């Protein structure tokens, strides 16, 4: 299985801050990586697909980049509604695997 390692596991930031989450794959996954947002009690929602493509309707403050084994997810100006847990997910090979998640809250 391809292991996905996210960091940090939790993060506290202020409204307006730029926030960066990293995801490292245990092997080269090209750009086959998605980012999801999960709010408490809700199902995950895709924000970024293929490492850097913004899903339709997702605010422009969210972005992603990277390829190979190292990926980055950025929120350029944190908003109160961004409080959630964020997951990376690879689809280069089965089984589909997720990072352990990064819990983001407001300082």
List residues binding another protein (CB under 8 A).
Answer: 1, 32, 34, 36, 42-46, 49-50, 55, 87, 89, 91, 94-101
Q: Is 82 helix (H, G, I), strand (E, B) or coil?
A: helix
Q: Please, what is the minimum distance in Å from the beta carbon of residue 16 to another protein? A: 28
Q: Please, what is the minimum distance in Å from the beta carbon of residue 15 to another protein? A: 26
Q: Please, what is the minimum distance in Å from the beta carbon of residue 34 to another protein? A: 5
Alpha-carbon span 105 to 49, nearest angstrom: 23
- Cβ nearer to another protein, comparing 45 with 105: 45
- Cβ nearer to another protein, comparing 10 with 77: 10
Decide: 69 and 25 in contact? Cβ < 8 Å. yes
Alpha-carbon span 80 to 88, nearest angstrom: 21
- Cβ nearer to another protein, comparing 1 with 15: 1
> How many helices (H) and strands (E) would you count in the chain?
0, 11
């Amino acid at each position: 299985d391809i292991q996905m390692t996210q960091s940090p596991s939790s993060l506290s930031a202020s409204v307006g801050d730029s926030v960066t989450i990293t995801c490292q794959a245990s092997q080269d996954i090209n750009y086959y990586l998605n980012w999801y947002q999960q709010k408490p009690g809700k199902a995950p929602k895709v924000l970024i697909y293929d490492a850097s493509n913004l899903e339709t309707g997702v605010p422009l403050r969210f972005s992603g980049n990277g390829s190979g084994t190292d990926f980055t997810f950025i929120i350029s100006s944190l908003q109160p509604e961004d409080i959630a847990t964020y997951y990376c997910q690879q689809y280069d090979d089965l089984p589909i695997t997720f990072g352990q998640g990064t819990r983001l809250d407001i300082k």
